[in-house]
Structure 1
Amino acid sequence: MNDTKQKTLELAYLILRLTMGVNMLTHGIARMLNLEGFNTWMIGQFSKTILPEFMVSISSYLIPFVELIIGILLILGLFTSRTLLVGALLIVALVFGSGLQENWNIMSSQMIYAIFFFILSYFIELNRYSIDAIREKVELL
């Protein structure tokens, strides 16, 4: 592969990683700004499922912080591989919750997130513009 094509792919990867990072960051921020409201909404959403209210409540307080951290780390390109794994596992949990609610419309959106986490994970070697890449270069010195 020529150098120009490689750089184009690395830039495209950066843009996709940044976009997913901003998406997760803003989800986390928006929910944290109204944490009690998010908790109340989540409890209502899961009221007719098998999940006990205390589990839903714990999840509703954790999800915004996890989203925020995933967003920050993806934007920075720090611990990218592990962050993508955590993000994908979060999506698995959200898909499970949507399935329990029989909320197939939301689940279809979550499946798109799963695809993006897959793409970013599969093409991780293109993660050149990141703190991870800088750390790797420093370790080689």
Structure 2
Amino acid sequence: MDKNWAYLLSRLAIGLSFFGHGLVRLPKLAGFSNWMLGQFSKSILPDALVIPFSYILPFAEFIAGILIILGLFTRFGLLLAGVVSLALIFGTTLIENWDALPSQLIHVSFLSILLAYLQHNTYAVDKIIKK
């Protein structure tokens, strides 16, 4: 039983992180996009890739966060968050923002653990749907 509660706490923590990242960026999409363009201006990534990614990222974070928090399509939400995290890690290394990398690696570690122990996802909408 404690493993189920531990899973819930970890799922909520990582879900809130993704949800919060998306939530604060959604109202200021254009500003966030311009900020990202500035960050990647000296990288090898062309603006044609950075701009769409900068507009998609907040929605992906927000959606992944909601799914993870609710425990709705939990596996998909965790995988979505993982793909987002991997893209962020790639971008972080391209601009040599080494200070951001540990946080992103911790996120991936949490996501990996949650995926590995998905059988403990007892307190979730997924369990209600399966009944």
In the superposition, the TM-score normalised over structure 2's length comes to: 0.97
Matched, 1:134 2:128: yes
- Pick the aligned partner of 1:93 from 87, 92, 95: 87
- Cα separation, 2, equivalents of 1:119 and 1:67: 19
Q: What secondary structure sits across from 2:119 in the alignment?
A: helix
Q: What secondary structure sits across from 2:100 in the alignment?
A: helix
Structure 1: give runs of 5+ residues left out of the alignment: 1-6
1:75, distance to aligned residue in structure 2 (A): 1.0
Matched, 1:80 2:57: no
Matched, 1:47 2:19: no
Structure 1 runs of 4+ off > 4 angstroms?
A: none
Map Cα deviations across residues 52-82 of structure 1 (whole Å, 9 max, x no partner). 1121010000000000100111111011011
1:97, distance to aligned residue in structure 2 (A): 0.2
In the superposition, the TM-score normalised over structure 1's length comes to: 0.90
1:23, distance to aligned residue in structure 2 (A): 1.1
- Cα separation, 2, equivalents of 1:54 and 1:32: 20
CA RMSD of aligned residues (A): 0.8
Matched, 1:62 2:56: yes
How many residue pairs align between the two structures? Answer: 131
Identical aligned residues as a percent: 44
- Cα separation, 1, equivalents of 2:76 and 2:118: 11
